[in-house]
Amino acid sequence: MARDKAMDDRLWRWAEAMKSGGVVGNGYPVKCTLHEDWSPPSPGMTPTLRTAPPSDAPQTQRLVLMLSDRAKATLAAHYILRMSTKDAADALDCMPDTVLDRIEAAHRTLMQILADDQRVMNGVFATSSD
């Protein structure tokens, strides 16, 4: 089975959010590479301008946390650290084919959880309006 394109895209967005300060950011970077004296706004200040559209990264983070430790480590190596399949296999002490299999299995599991959540939500809303 091949990877799901939509899930692959979702995991790349999740990885970018994780690398830029986590999935609960306020839109400001934590450090500026252009000027050493720059710092983010003081704690408690709310930015008035959103710098990015709403993201599915927080939901994806919750889904990823439901996976096994091996699956989480494999996704982190591939998506967050951008390791090659061989480098990820070396770091995870497995074969390169195992890395690919784990990524595909994670895609299937995450898509199943999302589908189950959607069915539950549809059922909740369908019964609550009766």
Q: Is the pTM of this model over 0.75?
A: no
How many angstroms separate the CA atoms of 130 and 119, rounded?
A: 17
Under the banding of pLDDT at 50, 70 and 90, the label for residue 19 is confident
Is residue 41 one of the residues assigned to a domain? no
Is residue 45 one of the residues assigned to a domain? no
How many domains is the chain built from? 1
Query: What are the percentages of helix, strand and coil residues in the chain, rounded to 5?
Result: 60, 0, 40
Say what the pLDDT of residue 56 is.
Answer: 87
Of 27 and 77, more confident: 77
82-121 pLDDT, tens per residue?
999 999 999 999 999 999 999 999 999 999 999 988 887 7
Say what the pLDDT of residue 108 is.
Answer: 95
Is residue 105 one of the residues assigned to a domain? yes
Under the banding of pLDDT at 50, 70 and 90, the label for residue 23 is low
DSSP string for 2-67:
PPPHHHHHHHHHHHHHHHTT-SS--S--SS-SS-TT--PPPTT---SS-SS---SHHHHHHHHTTS
* Separation of CA 56 from chain center: 8
Range of the domain at 64: 1-18+55-130
Q: What percent of the chain has a predicted confidence (pLDDT) above 70?
A: 72
CATH at 79: 1.10.10
Position 130 pLDDT exceeds 90? no
